[in-house]
Amino acid sequence: MTMDSPFLVLGIESSCDDTAVAVLEEPRRIRASLVMSQVEDHAPHGGVVPELASRRHQEAIMGLVRRCLWQAGVSNPMRQLSLIAVTAGPGLMGSLLVGVMAAKGLSQGWEVPIMGVNHMEGHLFANVLAHPDLKPPFLCLIVSGGHTEVHLVRSFGDYRLLGATRDDAVGEAYDKVAKMLGLGYPGGPVIDRLAREGDPDRYQLPVPFKGSSQVEFSFSGLKTAVLWLVRREGEALSVPDLCASFQRAAVESLVSKVKLAMNQTGVRTVAVSGGVVANRELRRRLEDLAGSSGGRVRVYLPPLELCTDNAAMVAAAGLWAYRRGVRDDLSFRADPSWELSR
Ligand code: KG4
Ligand code: ZN
């Protein structure tokens, strides 16, 4: 590698049900980013089946690496790549292992340094990739099928968890409610679409932890309330009205806790990430929050392809860590419950 050749990072992500590979050129140029979704494999089961996910990752990963390098113009990875960043947790153990072992093999074979990346730090870096002006301190709300949490980013590498869900993640609640209503998987996009035609005032549903003074979330009570309502209403149930009422309660809980986190920390910049960022009501409410603040509140939303699981965000988290001096070797392990911050 010559002195002026670009710093290229190969990112690998396999923590849940998407196999993803990307090549990132320092600092923010995504040369290629490929995601192979397993949604159709898991859809008949109404949720992710861990064993099936691992098998699909294993079938997909090497072909995806090859295609991604080709698309990125990397013909000689041994010479051209500067770092391999791979998600090492949190996630499903069997899924994580596929990505981690593939990355370790490539790192050893090509003699390229490797870095194990926290998946949540990856989500946070989706915003860093998309918004060069985003600087710490800021709050990061991560909302996906597996996570609902708010972190305070004091600086890159220094995170404090302000609050998380006590049970289901918000995306998971969408998926479960959709399953109850026979709407298929994943449930978020369908409920979001139906909610637009429904009346959110039709059914009274509880907003989780509405009055509490802690940044905390819970969606299992809301899900149970929906279940009772479905049983009680029977044939009379209006699915669009229920979707609208459920969505309003779920989004209200997210937005109210973001406001609380702002009040508690005095930090008024929030970056949002995870698959639920696609939700129209959430985007609208957050944009209203910023719009009505007279410029005091700033909200960052990455483009959708960076919100859902992808490997460009993992490459970015690895790159920034490498540049602040973090080093890894082949001894790191996949850790299904790796916490980003405490
Ligand atoms: O980040 P992601 O692709 O995967 C992980 O969970 O890591 O997020 C997927 C989740 C699913 O639960 C899906 O139902 C939800 O995001 N989702 C939505 C919407 N689009 C996707 N939830 C609400 N509204 C949406 N428009
Ligand atoms: Zn994710």
pTM: 0.93
Q: Which pLDDT band holds residue 15 (cuts at 50, 70, 90)?
A: very high
Task: Tell whether ligand 1 has an atom less than 6 A from the beta carbon of residue 275.
Answer: yes
User: Which numbered ligand comes closest to the C-alpha of 276?
Assistant: 1
User: What is the Å distance from ligand 2's center to 3 Cα?
Assistant: 35
H or E element at residue 169: none
Which tokens belong to 74? 């990397």
Mean pLDDT on 116-126: 96
Task: Tell whether ligand 1 has an atom less than 6 A from the beta carbon of residue 189.
Answer: yes
The distance from CA 189 to its chain's CA centroid, rounded to whole angstroms, is 15
Closest CA to 314 of 63, 15, 5: 15
CA distances from 82 to 5, 28, 68, 164, 322 (A): 10, 15, 16, 35, 10
User: What is the Å distance from ligand 1's center to 275 Cα?
Assistant: 4
d(CA 320, CA 335): 21
Q: Which pLDDT band holds residue 124 (cuts at 50, 70, 90)?
A: very high
User: What is the Å distance from ligand 1's center to 172 Cα?
Assistant: 8
Q: Which pLDDT band holds residue 309 (cuts at 50, 70, 90)?
A: very high
pLDDT of residue 2: 52
Span 61-102, pLDDT tens digits = 999 999 999 999 999 999 999 999 999 999 999 999 999 999
User: Which numbered ligand comes closest to the C-alpha of 274?
Assistant: 1
d(CA 29, CA 72): 11
- What are the DSSP calls for 178-231, one per residue? HHHTT--SSHHHHHHHHHTTS-TTSS----TTTT-SS--B--HHHHHHHHHHHH
Task: Tell whether ligand 1 has an atom less than 6 A from the beta carbon of residue 48.
Answer: no
Q: Amino acid identity of 20?
A: A
Q: Which pLDDT band holds residue 174 (cuts at 50, 70, 90)?
A: very high
DSSP 3-state of 53: helix
Q: Taking a C-beta distance cutoff of 8 angstroms, is the pair 317, 5 a contact?
A: no
Q: Is 201 exposed, middle or buried (0-12, 13-18, 19+ CB in 10 A)?
A: exposed
Task: Tell whether ligand 1 has an atom less than 6 A from the beta carbon of residue 145.
Answer: yes
Q: Taking a C-beta distance cutoff of 8 angstroms, is the pair 328, 27 a contact?
A: no
Q: Beginning with the edge strand found earlier in the chain, give each strand of the sheet holding 81-89 in spatial order.
A: 29-37, 18-25, 8-13, 81-89, 114-118
Which tokens belong to 84? 């391999």
Task: Tell whether ligand 1 has an atom less than 6 A from the beta carbon of residue 47.
Answer: no
DSSP 3-state of 5: coil
CA-nearest residue, atom 22 of ligand 1? 188
Task: Tell whether ligand 1 has an atom less than 6 A from the beta carbon of residue 13.
Answer: no
Mean pLDDT on 166-175: 96
Index of the ligand 1 atom closest to the CA of residue 282: 24
d(CA 326, CA 332): 13
Task: Tell whether ligand 1 has an atom less than 6 A from the beta carbon of residue 122.
Answer: no
Q: Helix 280-291 vs helix 187-195: angle between axes, to the nearest 10 degrees?
A: 60
Q: Taking a C-beta distance cutoff of 8 angstroms, is the pair 222, 266 a contact?
A: no
pLDDT of residue 110: 98
User: What is the chain's mean pLDDT, rounded?
Assistant: 96
User: Which numbered ligand comes closest to the C-alpha of 281?
Assistant: 1
Task: Tell whether ligand 1 has an atom less than 6 A from the beta carbon of residue 175.
Answer: yes
Q: Taking a C-beta distance cutoff of 8 angstroms, is the pair 267, 137 a contact?
A: yes
Task: Tell whether ligand 1 has an atom less than 6 A from the beta carbon of residue 192.
Answer: yes
pLDDT of residue 45: 87
d(CA 91, CA 54): 11
CA-nearest residue, atom 6 of ligand 1? 145
